[in-house]
Structure 1
């Protein structure tokens, strides 16, 4: 099938030649190939300013990232055959990295499938599509997943913010078989129920798996505070690893119910207490009450959604970390995490440094972590490197 051409301006092919997959609207030669002439999701042959083919992409003329490269091989269009090939590649990595089938199977650009996320919960798959190009081949995605994994059920959880940007409707629906409201997963030896329909994103955040394992290493015998807890991924694992007590804080009653259920599931309900509260209100109240913990875990939602939010977002990280530090015992551990792509690792470290100076604490960085192998970082796309986790020891000033 012959595909229409998307022509780039002079020198606008540098990013693609450097390994990136995105094309911005201001890089297109609209005099030769007007963006308004393309339909959202349409596949095209991308050409340099001199007409040299660079690969196949799909287009959305209405977005800042107006095209995403699918393949540099002109014979490989985005169809079931290519999807099966890329899924097998992705599966091979996960099977080498993990002993059980609980992981992110597809992580967008890093797995060569920009706009697609697939989380695996044993026999069940939860799929998120965030681009018009992937939406057009959603039937092929389902067919490819069925061929590669033969799942009992596939759920489309297509309610993310990016869909509005792409001009797509939001919906949650079964695409194949039957998927229960909650599915079981095991992480670091602990069992959880993930609320795939009503929960955040796909129902679970696999990206912090390795960082939660490191918290287990330190947790035995400690009094732990888990802030922004969601369904208890950090706190319940700390309790299962032998923490003396765990207090989980989340603003959602739904999340509180999930925390309690996951604690019971692992026989640690006597150690885990779940408190429904705004995180900052709870932290401030605990400071006033002079409560103290041996470990405080901060894994907030992304305070910095866009570049223009950086200043305000950094202030939120500053407030949270300073309050957490004030709640620590004299020899305490602070676990500070961020999923904000626009907060650089060094800036999070600066935030904690600043808190230490303000409160006159001796702060040492014990460990740094990031996303696990099921969230691989595309070496040429810095935007895929988003997750930070740091474990600090906090002592009185020397």
Structure 2
């Protein structure tokens, strides 16, 4: 097996449990490893640290996979996938759809697997996983009875790894699925959906927010396929307004609303959320519950200052359409925005409106998105329930 030798003191993060080795941390490479090949990882004194997948085309040159010198990838992947599945069934015993593998958090760096009944949507962002994808596919079929297995990759991350951007169907086909999150049914059309098809990371937060909606008027901004608003309807809200700039997502939200046969008064609006909120402020319209779940404003650290301004503006607008005694549920999926910065966003938005903000609930992603304590990169979603005073 070829070897990667780290520079002096460049082993510190790895010894603390981090799973990435960056190209500038490598002193030398012994042999001529191919992209996706396993390599031994040695410190500057040539002490053995572990084994990982090598990729000379990536800024993340090695993804740590095992502390063992001899690695049976079939057994390793099988063990970790089945352990991940067992955990998900403990926390979601009545669900057949959830995030099965959350990459580094489940100790399979560069792989995401979302389970939709017997359909499995994969995102592959590691040359090592790409090289061994058939092993993963065989495990899903033999051990979990997978019928359909396909990729739903994001082009940006594939290009970072120097991997082809095309998606692949490894078993079955990309057929529609009707899933449920424990309460709500959703139709998933993989042919034109975002990400892998559904945002499982907000499932627990949707359940929580729904509790506050009984008998009240609710507003779901950036509604996507309807998740938060559908939970408001499930909890017997008086009315729910869905807003998204995408006509396709509004169409999905309305379809899912009908799929669940909800009785609440509802409206489905295609509009820019900032524009919509400004119009409601001019009209003097207010809601008992306001939910804002925007896309990431900070794709990288360089964009963070502008993103913070955007989040403050958005939260301020949302606060201005909130009734006295109402609850604002706000979130950010920007990894580069840390928890304390998100709380500052909420506080600054409240201050500019002459109010105090009290956080009654703070959470990250759902239980099928565990956090690896040695990697802050595994935490990205922030979600807060806020009452103004």
Change (3 A) 1:159 1:301: same
Is 2:226–2:252's contact at 8 Å kept on the other side of the alignment? yes
Is 1:212–1:234's contact at 8 Å kept on the other side of the alignment? yes
Please tell me whether residue 80 in structure 1 is matched to residue 80 in structure 2: no
Please tell me whether residue 349 in structure 1 is matched to residue 347 in structure 2: no
1:12: which partner in 2?
10
2:251: which partner in 1?
257
SS at match of 1:74: coil
Please tell me whether residue 290 in structure 1 is matched to residue 290 in structure 2: no
1:332-379 CA-partner distances (Å, limit 9, x unpaired): 111011111111111111111111111112321111111122100001
- Distance in 1 between the 2:337 and 2:75 partners? 38
- Distance in 1 between the 2:272 and 2:153 partners? 27
Please tell me whether residue 166 in structure 1 is matched to residue 161 in structure 2: yes
Is 2:333–2:380's contact at 8 Å kept on the other side of the alignment? yes
Residue number among 78, 83, 91 corresponding to 1:89 in the alignment? 83
CA deviation after TM superposition for structure 1 residue 179, in Å: 3.3
2:207: which partner in 1?
213
Matches within 5 A, 1:1-398: 3-30=1-28, 33=30, 37-77=32-72, 79-99=73-93, 100-180=95-175, 182-268=176-262, 270-395=264-389
CA deviation after TM superposition for structure 1 residue 197, in Å: 2.6
1:59-108 CA-partner distances (Å, limit 9, x unpaired): 1212221111011111115x322211111111111111111221100000
Is 1:188–1:213's contact at 8 Å kept on the other side of the alignment? no
Structure 1: gaps spanning 5 or more residues: none
CA deviation after TM superposition for structure 1 residue 195, in Å: 2.5
- Distance in 2 between the 1:125 and 1:187 partners? 16
- Distance in 1 between the 2:33 and 2:285 partners? 60
1:129-164 CA-partner distances (Å, limit 9, x unpaired): 112221111111111111220112112112342001
Is 1:210–1:369's contact at 8 Å kept on the other side of the alignment? no
Is 2:41–2:48's contact at 8 Å kept on the other side of the alignment? yes
Is 2:240–2:264's contact at 8 Å kept on the other side of the alignment? no
SS at match of 1:247: strand
Is 1:159–1:171's contact at 8 Å kept on the other side of the alignment? no
Answer with 153-162 or 112-121: which moved more: 153-162
- Distance in 2 between the 1:272 and 1:61 partners? 53
SS at match of 2:194: coil
Is 2:137–2:170's contact at 8 Å kept on the other side of the alignment? yes
SS at match of 2:98: strand
Aligned Cα root-mean-square deviation (Å): 1.5
SS at match of 2:380: coil
1:306-343 CA-partner distances (Å, limit 9, x unpaired): 11111011111111100000111122111011111111
Is 2:254–2:268's contact at 8 Å kept on the other side of the alignment? yes
1:107-139 CA-partner distances (Å, limit 9, x unpaired): 000111000000111111111111222111111
1:10-61 CA-partner distances (Å, limit 9, x unpaired): 111111111111101111003x549xx5432222111111111111111121
